[in-house]
Amino acid sequence: QTDSPSAALPPGEERSEQFVLEVSEYFERLDAIHGNIRTAIAHIRKARIAPSTINAPPLGFVPPSFGVGLPEADASIAQGFQECRVERDAWKSIYEALIEKK
């Protein structure tokens, strides 16, 4: 027996019955997952979705954290809408602080 003494598992024949129940539950869940995957694939085929649209990104790809926004002409400074608002508010605060300092 490889279980710890505090495992609270039933002894003897009850232990075997519990094992059968656990394994049966595992395979039922596995069968349900298998069925769901097959259904999803059937829906994708029926919708004629191109495989290129569902391919995984290349290895090592890290998505940018630009938030929600429109792409800029210069991709190196592209910011999302939220980032633009934060930057605008920061510049407004700096401007107001400089005006008060005069």
Q: Per-residue pLDDT tens for 22-41?
A: 899 999 999 999 999 999 98
- Model's pTM, two decimal places? 0.43
Inter-residue contact 2 to 15 (CB < 8 Å): no
Residue where the block lists tokens 């769901």: 36
- Give the best-scoring range by mean pLDDT among 48-52, 68-72, 81-85, 96-100: 96-100
List the structure tokens of 73.
């002409």
Report the C-alpha gap between 46 and 40 in whole angstroms: 10
